[in-house]
Amino acid sequence: MAKPLVVLGILLGVAAASTIIALSVLYSQEKNKNAENSHGVAPTSPATTVSTTLDQSKPWNRYRLPRTLVPESYNVKLQPFLTPNNNGLYIFKGWSTVRFTCKEPTSVIIIHSKKLNYTTPNGHRVTLRGVGGSQPPAIDRTELVELTEYLVVHLNSDLQVGSVYEMDSEFEGELADDLAGFYRSEYMDGNVKKVLATTQMQSADARKSFPCFDEPAMKATFNITLIHPHNLTALSNMLPKGPSVPLPNDSTWNITEFHTTPVMSTYLLAYIVSEFTYVEQEAPNNVMIRIWARPSATAAGHGMYALNKTGPILNFFAQHYNTSYPLEKSDQIGLPDFNAGAMENWGLVTYRENSLLFDPQSSSISNQERVVTVIAHELAHQWFGNLVTVAWWNDLWLNEGFASYVEYLGADYAEPAWNLKDLIVQNELYRVMAVDALASSHPLSAPASEVNTPAQISEMFDSISYSKGGSVLRMLSDFLTEDLFKKGLASYLHTFAYSSTTYLDLWEHLQKAVDSQNEIKLPFSVRDIMDRWILQMGFPLVTVNTTTGTISQEHFLLDPTSEVTRPSNFSYLWIVPISYVRNGVQQDKYWLRGVQQDQNNLFKTTDSDWVLLNLNVTGYYQVNYDEENWKRIQRQLETNPSAIPVINRAQVIHDGFDLASAQKVPVTLALDNTLFLIRDTEYLPWQAALSSLSYFKLMFDRSEVYAPMQAYLKKQVTPLFSHFKNVTNSWNKRPEKLMDQYNEINSISTACSSGVPECKQLVTDLFNQWMANPSNNPIHPNLRSTIYCNAIAQGGEKEWNFAWEQYQKATVVNEADKLRAALACSTHVWILDRYLKYTLNPELIRKQDATSTIISISSNVVGQPLAWNFIQNNWKKLFEDYGGGSFSFSNLIQGVTRRFSTEYELQELERFRDSNMDTGFGSATRALEQALEKTKANIKWVKENKEKVLTWFTDHSK
């Protein structure tokens, strides 16, 4: 599944009320995991007995399947009804046969089933028969166990070991709009409401579509048949066996039967019935590529960018893995209602529209980057994840971390001029370090026994799994070299094709690659090195003293007083690969070998010499120096910044601020590290500074520190603003490079929010031109987010209503997203209050967009208290509508509590926790703990730093 949407942490600044909208909407909340709860009320079938007792000796009360039966194949026929029945419900009918082998004697068949109602032709929900002459025992009774989501078949005697059986069932389920299992998605085509049926099985919702052994290691082949309205198209993982044929006795329905799938996991199944159309081409390796979308989007050419990039990316991965693409077609489809960013179903990848479709007229460069990286992420899974699958969800990090790393390689191959690989540090590594440096973090790998329930599985889909997973695999590839890494990877994929693994299997194959050559020598085995990064949470702070040459490490905590209660077998020491430069010249790699401290003259310097560690930040750690070396780095940056690689200029800023938070260096040192920006026009260092200073904004935009801080930013950004005004010929053409386009946006948003008069005028003029002629938008798509936000903040009701009207009319989701985020920039309390109420009305704000809209409002200093009150008053409703497994729930808590920095706010948060214990917090449980921890840290940080920061900004803003 696609990563949490990060892309640019562009701070859309707003002078009027100094609103920050970190584009958390568009850009940071992606991974909204499937809402687990559907709230359709399904009719109960006659033979229901519900067991809620938890007698653990009964296998059906345990969340993990017993190993007694192993599936071989399924025949599944489904008929979705795209109009409501007499009870006003949308339903689907299904017929299923599962063939399985008995591995251990058992008198009970336990198979997953969720919210399905079975017909009982012979008084039982299933019929059982033997295959190849075996005789099945008689069925005593069947029951549905709701808690563990099982259909349980009690037999009168044991199944025979080695015998093969088939079990048939016929059932009905609700085709709900809950974005989970087999569900319905609705969208408007002009004034006509259209309904389609689609799927989202990951993690545990295939069981909501048909009874199945719904665990990733329980691989089988699937024969899917869809009965669908004759004027619609049916798609699945495989191509149809032939043309659709009319249903006997009712030609308004067609039957489409698909080829048998390879051996695969249930969570990767997909089937869709819609009127969507496609564009297609054949990749050089004879793979048929199709991009499906709403007919109007296909006709407008919005699928072409994805089509043109899919072939090259598939070829890149086939070479990277030394394994050809395993299927004969690759369908990708953009859905109007989709909770994740995308889902890697084998051969039929589903996407949110904004992650697949690209309209050059209204989509920005970051939308384009989003499309190419998400496609690369999902296509990477077609091998890693789909062909070879992790045996259980506790190892999800390997699947998602891997795709989160190689998506940058695949996208870089498709867009070689963009330097996308440089973005991984900002988008993944630094983003996740902010969470991993808390005492409430958790290791990448959890024991399988700790991950059982659907909610626990859902909690694995967090930034640690994706972004830390990707960062440590990038580090591993770097110290092994990419060639060795690829060699081990290919061997792993060839060995385990069509089966399941744990991360230790990958280590073993990488180790074989290391052992087969002599050039690259490691101080320890791959497993010994990596265990410390996988099995303990957090990361090291490496400290160098250039006077003595000592180098040491410690577990880095943003709040040095927080208590780490989670034990580690490695005492929070790591085996750290250290790359470094001395006066701009790269040196040989050095290993800190799992010890707390070491000494080496390599790190000693004299006079004006400086050293800088962690070249291009390939290592997952931060670095501190003695004061003298910091000063030398600062002098170098102020005289000739280009002697330090651009990623490391960003690193100096980022690490400096983190070290100040952790009280390892004075906050003034971190601020001094930003002085050189007055002479730097590169995106990465500016972005590091703006995202670090966004924390200062959150802490101080309600205090007297804010004015001098804005004055400093105004002084630093004015040369950048002028630079881009020249480069773009007064904002009329875009810079050529991707990073420069991103920094142009930074220059405008920072100039506007810090009060550069020319910027405010630019915004007003452009927005007024658009209001005067709504059918012709003069604002370039790259600049729309920041221009819209600032115009709405500077304006009043007239501007807001105009933008709302445009939002309702928007046919392209990227444009709608930009407007939806910008509408949260208003500085009028009553407007924001009304907008919050809109989020509870799916007619006005789509369910999938509700949480990110509330987060946008809370990013605004005026909206924050309103959003917090709104969440407190509506938690139960929000939780019921979007609850359980929805990934965006944790983002909601995180987003709304970001500014909390007073004792009063801490008490409010504790009160909120205590008064909602009954409702619960679902996948936001961990986020709530983190929010409490973060608030305490914020209170402390403000107390300690406010005066110093006020003085520094006052002194440096002149």
* CA trace torsion 343, 348, 350, 354 (10° rounding): 120
Strand partners, 106: 159
* CA trace torsion 836, 841, 843, 846 (10° rounding): 70
CA distance 655 to 692: 10
Measured on CA atoms in the order 243, 247, 253, 255, is the torsion positive or negative?
negative
Reading the block at residue 933, the tokens are 């921890």
Phi–psi pair at 956, nearest 5 degrees: -100, 5
- Residues 727-751, buried b or exposed e (16+ Cβ, 10 A)? bbeebeebbeebbbbbbbbbbbbbb
Helices (H), 559-612: none
Helix axes 864-882, 829-838, angle to 10 degrees: 0
Task: Provide the greatest CA pair distance for the chain.
Answer: 92
Cβ-contact 941, 557 below 8 angstroms: no
CA distances from 511 to 384, 399, 489, 517, 527 (A): 18, 19, 10, 11, 8
Angle made by CA atoms 584, 585, 586, in degrees to the nearest 5: 120
Cβ-contact 189, 39 below 8 angstroms: no
Phi–psi pair at 71, nearest 5 degrees: -75, 150
Radius of gyration of the chain (CA): 28
Tell which residue, 1, 813, 4, has the closest CA to residue 336: 813
Helices (H), 810-863: 813-822, 829-838, 847-859
Q: How far apart are the first and last CA of the chain?
A: 49
SS3 of residue 35 by DSSP: coil
Beta carbons within 8 Å of 91's beta carbon, 6+ residues apart: 81, 85, 172, 173, 174, 175
Q: What is the DSSP string of 343-380?
A: E--TTEEEEEGGGT---TTT--HHHHHHHHHHHHHHHH
Cβ-contact 747, 713 below 8 angstroms: no
CA distance 118 to 115: 10
Mapping DSSP onto H, E and C, the string for 102-166 reads: ECCCEEEEEEECCCEEECCCCCCCEEEEEECCCCCCCEEEEEEECCCCEEEEEEEEEECCCCEEE
Beta carbons within 8 Å of 148's beta carbon, 6+ residues apart: 60, 61, 62, 63
The type of residue at 102 is C
For residue 306, what is the enclosing H or E element? Answer: helix 304-321
Q: Which residues are catalytic?
A: 378
Angle made by CA atoms 809, 810, 811, in degrees to the nearest 5: 110
Reading the block at residue 452, the tokens are 């059982």
Cβ-contact 522, 479 below 8 angstroms: yes
Beta strands in 132-286 (DSSP E): 139-145, 150-159, 164-174, 181-189, 192-200, 221-229, 233-236, 245-247, 250-257, 271-274, 277-282
Reading the block at residue 436, the tokens are 């991993």
